[in-house]
Amino acid sequence: IKVGVISSNGRFVSPEKGNFPEKIKKRLVLKDEKLCFEVSDGVYLTQKDIRQVQLAKGAVRSGVEALLASKNVEASQVDLIQIAGSFGYHLRAKSLIHIGLLPKEFEDKIEFVGNTSKTGGNAFLLNTSFRSEMKKLVEKVEVVELANQPGFDNLFVKCLSF
């Protein structure tokens, strides 16, 4: 995306049409008669791979946007974004912003917090006061059915673009 090999609609840009360095052009190859990007020897990024990322990105971003809208909150008003699990081990905040997974207003507010389910599970099992706090917290949780939000389908489609 950054060098222009992938367009905003998620399609590969052909080497003839793209304005990117020669070393990048050489990595755009035909495999099984389909354009793909050779990441390393024998490892390829395919159009199908990009679509999977695009669908996941669209789901996350539209969920964020719908949740913000449901609470009448602007992205700039959010103080902290915590990303848990192995998802955060392999990504950089700038990359998440660059592909549009998260709003640009979140860039300096992202914190990767590791395996919180393991930590929380241990605390829940071993700490009675933590268990009591969690029970109180659960009572305050409000479920927001994103698919039932007005215009969610259109929002999801809009969020598919890079």
Number of domains in the chain: 1
- Classify residue 4: in a domain, yes or no: no
The verdict on residue 127 lying in a domain is yes
Residue 32 lies in a domain: no
105 is a domain residue? yes
CA distance 121 to 85: 13
Q: What are 24-72's pLDDT values in tens digits?
A: 999 999 999 999 999 999 999 999 999 999 999 999 999 999 999 999 9
In a domain, 21, yes or no: no
- For residues 138-157, average pLDDT: 93
Residue 6 lies in a domain: no
Domain enclosing residue 70, as ranges: 48-158
Q: How is 91-109 classified by DSSP, letter by letter?
A: --HHHHHHTTSS-GGGGGG
Q: Is the pLDDT of residue 89 over 80?
A: no
Rounded distance between C-alpha atoms, residue 60 and residue 160, angstroms: 10
What integer best gives the mean pLDDT of the chain? 94
- With cut-offs at 50, 70 and 90, classify the pLDDT of residue 86: confident
Whether 80 maps to a domain, the answer reads: yes
CB 38 within 8 A of CB 44: yes
Residue 19 included in any domain = no
The position carrying tokens 């003839």 is: 16
Alpha-helical segments (H) within 37-147:
47-70, 93-98, 116-126, 128-140
| Global pTM value | 0.86
Residue 161: count other Cβ atoms within 10 Å of its Cβ.
Answer: 15
Alpha-carbon span 7 to 93, nearest angstrom: 21
pLDDT score recorded for residue 91: 86
